[in-house]
């Protein structure tokens, strides 16, 4: 790891109240795309942050605003962007619908740049109904090695996965004809996340209530991106010496290496307001059998790490 003896990111890694971070590598830079953690109806825009080395971060303000999403009338949160064919697709939740009689769900915005500005791609939600009991929130987009794009999402303790067509703004069918495939593992609450390592799929999610100290992350392991996903263990949780409410994360893998970083939010011990959440980054390790080891939350974060040229 380069610069390991010189500088470290520190935690929180970015200033301000932010949550639900998605982490990506775009155009030779690290990116963090979080929710602006404010009272619910004040969450009406998104910021982003980029870095060359995981230590120094530059803020890009208001990359997507509610005014650019004609169907969004209340809060927007839980972004997940991806690049495909030179364009950037940004999935997000809006309006917190409680039934199929309401307008809202998961939207998709698009831009030619990772820093936006993003604009709503459809004029309506990409997923705007409940299927298999899953509230349409907390999207996470993942493109497999074969080019298949999946969108994992869900709240209210249920999780679905859909296939995205090549245009990334419409849904395709699975080989069995299903559009919405339920994959809910034991303990799932919200905040899905998928990675692939050495041929295995690691499906992660948040457990507990987002506003409480017990918010946490657990995972399952499978040979397929569609599961089945059998819960293995909790890998991130509160530490009474560091922080509480640790969960809803994204992942970074350094290209060409087995170095992994988990980017997540947590609540400082000094804070009691549920919205006072900060974004942090720590190392994620695997044992010799390919199981994820518990994450050690730190105040130092991770050493400076520039991407390989």
Scored b (16 or more CB within 10 A) or e, 283-297 reads bbbeeeeeebeebeb
Q: Distance between the two ends of the chain, CA-based, in angstroms?
A: 14
* Catalytic-labelled residue, pool 47, 53, 120, 190: 190
Scored b (16 or more CB within 10 A) or e, 212-250 reads ebebbbbbbbbeebebebebeebbbbbeeebbbbbbbbb
Q: How many CA atoms lie within 13 A of 186 on its CB side?
A: 7
Calculate Rg over the CA atoms of the chain.
18
* Catalytic-labelled residue, pool 20, 53, 65, 282: 20
Instruction: Please indicate whether residue 259 is annotated as part of the active site.
Output: no
Separation of alpha carbons 141 and 6, rounded Å: 34
Instruction: Please indicate whether residue 167 is annotated as part of the active site.
Output: no
- List the catalytic residues: 20, 190
């Amino acid at each position: 790891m380069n610069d390991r003896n010189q500088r470290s990111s520190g935690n929180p890694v970015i200033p301000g109240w932010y949550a639900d971070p998605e982490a990506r590598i775009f155009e030779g830079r690290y990116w963090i795309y979080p929710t602006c953690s404010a009272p619910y109806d004040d969450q009406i825009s998104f910021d982003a942050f980029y870095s060359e080395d995981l230590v120094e971060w530059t803020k890009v303000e208001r990359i997507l605003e509610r005014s650019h999403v004609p169907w969004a009338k209340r809060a927007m949160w839980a972004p997940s962007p991806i690049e495909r064919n030179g364009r950037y697709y940004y999935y997000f939740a809006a309006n917190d619908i409680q039934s199929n009689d309401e307008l809202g769900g998961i939207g998709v915005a698009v831009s030619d740049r990772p820093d936006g500005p993003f604009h709503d791609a459809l004029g309506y939600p990409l997923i705007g109904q409940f299927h298999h009991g899953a509230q349409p929130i907390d999207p996470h987009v993942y493109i497999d090695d074969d080019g298949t794009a999946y969108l994992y999402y869900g709240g209210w303790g249920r999780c679905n996965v859909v296939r995205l067509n090549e245009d990334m703004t419409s849904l395709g069918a699975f080989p069995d004809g299903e559009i919405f495939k339920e994959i809910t593992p034991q303990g799932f609450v919200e905040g899905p996340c998928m990675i692939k390592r050495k041929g295995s799929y690691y499906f992660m999610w948040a457990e507990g209530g987002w506003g409480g100290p017990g918010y946490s992350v657990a995972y399952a392991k499978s040979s397929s991106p569609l599961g089945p996903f059998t819960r293995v263990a909790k890998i991130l949780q509160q530490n009474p010496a560091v922080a509480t409410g640790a969960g809803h994360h994204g992942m970074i893998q350094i290209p060409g290496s087995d170095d992994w970083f988990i980017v997540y939010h947590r609540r400082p011990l000094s804070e009691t307001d549920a919205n006072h959440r900060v974004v942090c980054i720590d190392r994620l390790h695997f044992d010799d059998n390919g199981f994820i080891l518990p994450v050690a939350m730190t105040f130092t974060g991770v050493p400076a790490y520039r991407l390989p040229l």
